[in-house]
Chain A
């Protein structure tokens, strides 16, 4: 596996620390007086999401993490794993629940997701920024309330619950922002 020297550090670079893959969030070159230089680095553990500070002597090398991101289509879930396929080579990958994390709430099939592969296996799955899903359950809108200010909870076909305007009804398909879990519009 390749190594990176501290002079190649920049945000987004994926490195191995204590056996886990990390992404560099922020890198600062520090050199006090006429003294020895070092790099003050903020890194995010790609498995846990935790951000920690580390320092490296400038010139030190760190092992690169075999991590890269690819767009894949979500195909189906067998209850234990979520199956994805690369659109160009039709290669299939399975993500576990930890890798899916919040993404399970937003995908029903055929969405193109951004999958982070670590040593060839999905480590994290990012759903599309917006998805279109059908409402399976919500209270009927209150007649006469047309102000648009009021909202109500609605359960979507994936099980996610979002707040929707009162005029939106069961059976309708809506657009949702997956980053904020907010209703955007009727689809």
Chain B
């Protein structure tokens, strides 16, 4: 008889997951963050190049289409622009087509924002939260902070800003690709990230400006994005930004992502004019981060892959 009706996670894992979520909410409360809820189903969505939203036809009573959000970011920033204090949300998010040991098309994202925070404060927050939630055995060594360039120099033996296309192609095992960021992503996934976070929290910051996403870019030579990713045991757990608040720049980035998607014939939600209007009205200086809660739970509970901490992952959803 088929056992596909049964949960993928053990009851023990589900209990552990619930305890972690309690601990997380406790930490957020002690830090003075307000828990808020935002729509999973939106009228607009993210055009981000490598994230695909799920489309819902006739989602709204007026017949308009909707999109299942890839993150609560736009709504949370609208709240901040409207004067909300530091906020966080524990939300289900959706990313079409992502499935694997560390991916599920629907997963739990914890996202939080600190007003007035810069990159250092953001990294302090990430370290403190992860240290609060992960068992000490995984964090025997002191956390490390290294730039994207240092991470590549150390673990891939190349400078991501100056390496030639041929060298990137060889290291990425991808002879036909000519987009630098795609090649760097591949090398990050093959060589750099797997080597990070061994017995510690590794915080990689100062990304190439071309990978800024919604982060502010800091002038310099080269200019870098004030973006950080946290890796523990080779698993990427957190992505954070010092948030871009310039509406014009944000609009230009969206336009460029939308053009790239259109060139690939990939679907794309409508531009989120409400979000852009919120930036125009003034997003206070802030930094924010998103934590993949399923991955955190899998690491904390010592199980292999996120399916082991999900009652019903995609194949039995």
Contact = CB atoms under 8 A, between A and B. Distances in A.
Contact of B236 (A7, A33, A40, A55): A33
Contact of A36 (B103, B186, B190): B186
Interface in B36-72: 48-51
Contact of B173 (A29, A37, A55): A55
B181 A35 contact: yes
Q: How large is the interface on B (under 10, 10 to 19, 20 to 34, 35 or more residues)?
A: 20 to 34
Contacts of B229: 33
Given A33-B229, A35-B185, A55 B174 contact: yes
A35 B182 contact: yes
Contact of B193 (A32, A37, A54, A58): A32
Contacts of A32: 185-186, 188-189, 193, 236
A44 to B, nearest CB: 18
A65 B190 CA distance: 27
Interface stretch (B85-93, B94-102, B272-280): B94-102
Contacts, number: 67
Interface residues of A, number: 18
Interface of A: 7, 28-38, 40, 54-55, 57-59
A129 B122 CA distance: 60
B175 to A, nearest CB: 11
B239 A33 contact: yes
22 contacts: A28-B100, A28-B101, A29-B100, A31-B98, A32-B189, A33-B229, A34-B211, A35-B181, A35-B182, A35-B188, A35-B211, A36-B50, A36-B181, A36-B182, A36-B186, A37-B97, A38-B185, A40-B190, A55-B173, A55-B190, A57-B177, A59-B97
Contact of B174 (A34, A37, A57): A57
